[in-house]
Every structure is written in C-alpha cells, then in structure tokens.
Chain A
Amino acid sequence: MKSRYSIFSLARNAMNYHKDWERAWRSPTPKSEYDAVIVGAGGHGLATAYYLAKNHKLTNIAVVEKGWLGGGNTGRNTTIIRSNYLQDPSIAIYELARGLYEELSHDLNFNVMFSPRGVMMLCQTEHEFRAFKRTAHANRLAGLDCRMITPEEVKKIAPIINDDPNCRYPILGAYYQPRGGTGRHDAVAWGYARGADSLGVDIIQNCEVLSIRRDGAKVAGIETSKGFIKTKKVGVVTAGHVSTLVQTAGLRLPIESLCLQALVSEPIKPVLDCVIMANTVHGYLSQSDKGELVVGGGTDPYNNYSQRGSFPALEHTVTALVETFPIISRLRMLRMWGGIVDMTGDRSPIISKTDVEGLYVNCGWGTGGFKAIPGSGFVFADTMFNDRPHPIAEPFGLNRFLEGRLIDESVAAAVAH
C-alpha cells in the first residue's frame, strides 16, 4: 500500500526538498500469466483495472498499453463532464459516472480537480429548443438536477455571450445542468493508475498488443511486443483502434474510426466559469484553470487514423464560436490536436461480452468518453468479473445491433458526428 498524499506528507517531503516522493506507479516486467488483462491504459482501462481490484478483489491483473499511460484520447479531450442525455440507458451510465466523479478525488486520494461549474447547452433554433425541452423532461423524470433557462439567465451566467436577438443563431435559452462541469483529464488517468497500482495491478507501458490468441472458442492470451501473456480474460479498451485489434480474434465490430479535434487558446484572465455547448453551430467552449479557452467541435467526416485532422473542421468550429462569443475573435490559438474516436451506428458505446469466451469489449464512446470514465470502468469491471453484463451495461451489449434495439444518442451527444 502506498503512503497517502496529505498535508502532512507534503510537509514531510518539503523538508527533504521533495527528493523522496515515491513513484506513483511501478514499471513492472510482465508476468507470464494473469487472471485478467486490460488492453489500453487510458481512463476507461485504468478505471476498469481499479474497480476490478477494489470492488472484486481481483489483483493478479495487468493493464497493457502500447504507448504511455493516458497518452491516447484521455489526454486529447476537452474534459467535459455531464450526464444530460436523452435515453434512459445513457442517463443511467453517465449519471453513475458523474456521481462517482464527485467523490473521485477522495476515493483515489488524488486530486482529479472535478469542478462542477455547470454545463449550458445553448438553444439557437426553435427546433433545438424543443429537442432540449424533451431531454429536460426525460432527465427530470430520471431524477437529474437539470432545467431549461431563459436567455437572460444565460447572459447572467456567461456575460461574454452574444445575446443580439438579430444574429444568425440567436440565443433562445439553454438547457442547464448545474452539477456538470470539467475535470483534470491527466489527473483522472494518473489517479486511477496510482490507485490500481497500489492495489497490486501491473501497469505495463510501451508494450503493444499485436494479437489476441484464441484456443477454440476461448481466449488463450495476448501476443505482445514483450512476448506472450497467458490469460483467460481480456478486456479490450482501446478506443479508435479497437476494431483492428479484435479482428485478430476473428471478431467484427460495428465501429468506424474518425478524427475529433480540439484546440486551446493562449491563457487569458477568467471570462467564463461554466461549460457552454453550442450544438447548432457545432462548438463547445470552457476555460481551463490555467486560463486557456478549451474549444472543441465536430469530427472530420471520413475514416481516419492520422490523429491530425483537417483545417476545414477547425475553421468550422472557430467561425461558429466567434459569432456566439465575439470577444474570442482576436485570441491566438496555441495548440490543436486530434484523437481517433470510435463511432458506432447509434452513437452509443459498446460494453459487452463477445462471441469469444473471455473476450470483452468496452468501446464506441465516440466523442464523449471522458465524462463516462468512472461509470464505464465500474460496470465493465463487474461485467468482466462476473462474466455477465452489469445491469447498467446490459443495454449497451453488442446484441443490440442484432435485435435492432438501438440507443440513439446522436442528437443528445451535442456535436456533429
């Protein structure tokens, strides 16, 4: 067990000029066999390992990562946390995650900087207004603390917004989730990694999984760049790269990989203390604790593994936001980046057993995986441990595509994709 971070440990280490902090997680060499292996050390993978160890006491497990921990989509998103989805199954899983986020810093003894600063989803057309009203009713029925607010309230919460009623997309109101907000994306990965490691989980970085080896209908293990690892249970949590990996086990997934871009401006003084999503014009905006404006938009439309993205998608996002927030027009953008997101036909994730015994997939989070990390890990760990879907994960099974039981969230997900 690791020593806990506290005011006393800070003081103690300050005495030694901070030279004696122990490593947050080990770098073990892989054992030849594990009870379960998670492929992908992003937020979802690490959370899965953490809850497998914590809730199910399964500690002879490993998380195997091609690059470095948290270096994929966990480090490439816009850190928004909310649960105001339309369909019941989505509300259930995203609200489970949001609730866990509230306690996460405490649970992990690691500050994930969850900041429930409120999420506003602007209504800029009559249709959007009605659609969000419907979502608001669905959310209220599910017990979520959400409401529609007037243009005046929008202006009060976010004074930088352009409230000119004659602009192309005027503000007609907004759908507001006061308990949504943002978190520190890297800290979520690091916190889960440290938590899982201290429970005995091996986190193996720089170890690419080349294929999944089968023994008939069962999983036998994984071939990696560091040799073969024997295991009976493999959980694949590799976002955009999931379809090529499970193909090595003879499995097809209803997934297409696209590039989603985001960008940040130079840091400025605080101008915005909530998250604003403008779906009609395809953009979302929040301000980081460092003062950068964090901007995200829609995906590039075509299949893409380049992690780079195109200028037209960026331009589309920025043009739209400049009209809604005129003061950002002369901001310099410091950085942009792209992440490869895995898109399903109904824009809802897949948390499922597969036809191969012992092979589980957790993917298809598309443009909105970060907000779901704790909930996703929680139910996926339960699904893997008990070899049956957790009740909250059950609607997200692969069989929904066979049965035509889709969870259509392409509208509620709030971005063009």
Chain B
Amino acid sequence: MLIVHCPVCGAEGDETDFHYGGEAHVARPATRDPADVSDAQQRDYLFMRHNPKGLHFERWRCDRGCGKWFHAARDTMTMEFKATYGIGELPPRELMKAATGEWAEFFKDKLAKGRKA
C-alpha cells in the first residue's frame, strides 16, 4: 500500500485516493514546424519510457483532494516516495543529482541552469 502526499493541498491518503499518471517530465518535441519533428523523436515522445529499478520520476493526480496533478520521485524497488513537488517544478536538487541512467542525462543541463521545469 502506497501512502501518497499531495504537495498542492496537503492531503495524504493511500494509492486509491490518487491516480498514477506515468513518467514525468516527458517533453513534447515541439518546433515551429511540426514537419521538423522526426519519426524517431515522435516515437520516443509517445512510447519510449524510463523504466528504472530505483529512483523514478512520475506524475500523480490528487483524485479525492484538490484534483490537481503533481510530480513525485519514487523508488520502484522499495516503493518509497522520496519527494512530491509541483507540476511546474523540477525535483529537489539532491534527487536530480542522485538520478542515474537516462534520468541523469535528462537532468544534467537542468542542474547547470538551475531549477526551471
């Protein structure tokens, strides 16, 4: 049983009070001209997902509280929530640093630039 904490309204409940929304920070390959988006980019956007054993960044919705979407950093082995944070935010710095594999690549330039989603 997961105990989830909503960072927006402060509600706390088990997983049935929330809704899982898949991987977080999936950026749509946006350009001025949609024709510039390659098939591979579009495939990655639609189907390729980080699937780590360990730290995972994901989205949840506070179903029975404020109804808002938010972000969470959770361990997929221990089920422990390391942090929950707003939908427009990046994870806490120490979690971005702790990220491994593809996630580490993803947060590399974001760490350099400072926290902006």
Residue ranges of A at the interface with B (Cβ–Cβ < 8 Å) = 241, 243-244, 247, 252-257, 301-306, 310-312, 344-345, 401-403
B69 nearest CB across to chain A (Å): 15
Closest Cβ neighbor of B53 among chain A residues: A305
- Contact call A310/B2, Cβ cutoff below 8 A: yes
Query: With A402-B39, A402-B40 in contact, do A254 and B79 touch (Cβ < 8 Å)?
Result: no
* Consensus secondary structure, chain B interface: mixed
- Contact call B77/A306, Cβ cutoff below 8 A: yes
- Contact call B16/A244, Cβ cutoff below 8 A: no
Check: B71 CB closer than 8 A to any chain A CB: no
B:47-64 near A, CB below 8 Å: 47-49, 51-53, 56, 58
CA distance A257 to B22 in the complex (A): 11
CA distance A280 to B98 in the complex (A): 42
Query: With A303-B56, A310-B1 in contact, do A255 and B15 touch (Cβ < 8 Å)?
Result: no
From B15, B53, B56, B58, A244 is in contact (CB under 8 Å) with B53
Residues of chain A lying within 8 A (CB to CB) of residue B102: 247, 252
From B47, B76, B77, A254 is in contact (CB under 8 Å) with B47
Query: With A257-B51, A312-B1 in contact, do A301 and B20 touch (Cβ < 8 Å)?
Result: yes
Check: B34 CB closer than 8 A to any chain A CB: no
From B39, B43, B49, B76, A304 is in contact (CB under 8 Å) with B76
CA distance A243 to B49 in the complex (A): 10
- Contact call B14/A312, Cβ cutoff below 8 A: yes
- Contact call A402/B1, Cβ cutoff below 8 A: no
Residues of chain B lying within 8 A (CB to CB) of residue A241: 53
Query: With A310-B2, A311-B1 in contact, do A302 and B15 touch (Cβ < 8 Å)?
Result: yes
B:7-48 near A, CB below 8 Å: 14-16, 19-20, 22-23, 39-40, 43-44, 46-48
How many residue pairs link A and B with beta carbons under 8 A? The number is 63
Which 10 residue pairs across A and B have the least CB separation, nearest first?
A254-B47, A243-B51, A302-B20, A301-B20, A345-B47, A401-B47, A312-B16, A402-B43, A305-B53, A401-B43
B4 nearest CB across to chain A (Å): 10
- The number of chain B residues with a CB under 8 A from chain A is 29
Residues of chain A lying within 8 A (CB to CB) of residue B22: 256
- Contact call A302/B58, Cβ cutoff below 8 A: yes
Residues of chain B lying within 8 A (CB to CB) of residue A244: 51-53
A204 nearest CB across to chain B (Å): 23
Closest Cβ neighbor of B79 among chain A residues: A306
Residues of chain A lying within 8 A (CB to CB) of residue B88: none
Check: B101 CB closer than 8 A to any chain A CB: yes
From B19, B48, B56, A252 is in contact (CB under 8 Å) with B48
Residues of chain B lying within 8 A (CB to CB) of residue A305: 53, 76-77
- Contact call A310/B51, Cβ cutoff below 8 A: no
Query: With A244-B53, A312-B1, A312-B14 in contact, do A303 and B47 touch (Cβ < 8 Å)?
Result: no
CA distance A323 to B17 in the complex (A): 23
- Contact call B49/A255, Cβ cutoff below 8 A: yes
A363 nearest CB across to chain B (Å): 11
From A247, A256, A310, A403, B15 is in contact (CB under 8 Å) with A310
Residues of chain B lying within 8 A (CB to CB) of residue A301: 15, 19-20
CA distance A303 to B101 in the complex (A): 16
Residues of chain A lying within 8 A (CB to CB) of residue B47: 254, 344-345, 401
Residues of chain A lying within 8 A (CB to CB) of residue B51: 243-244, 253, 255-257, 303
A55 nearest CB across to chain B (Å): 32
A–B pairs, 14, beta carbons within 8 Å: A244-B51, A247-B101, A252-B44, A252-B48, A253-B51, A254-B49, A255-B49, A256-B23, A302-B2, A303-B76, A305-B77, A310-B1, A312-B15, A401-B47
- Contact call A304/B79, Cβ cutoff below 8 A: yes
Closest Cβ neighbor of A403 among chain B residues: B39
Closest Cβ neighbor of A345 among chain B residues: B47
Residues of chain B lying within 8 A (CB to CB) of residue A304: 76, 79
Closest Cβ neighbor of A310 among chain B residues: B1
CA distance A253 to B23 in the complex (A): 14
B108 nearest CB across to chain A (Å): 17
B58 nearest CB across to chain A (Å): 7
Residues of chain B lying within 8 A (CB to CB) of residue A257: 51, 76
A45 nearest CB across to chain B (Å): 20
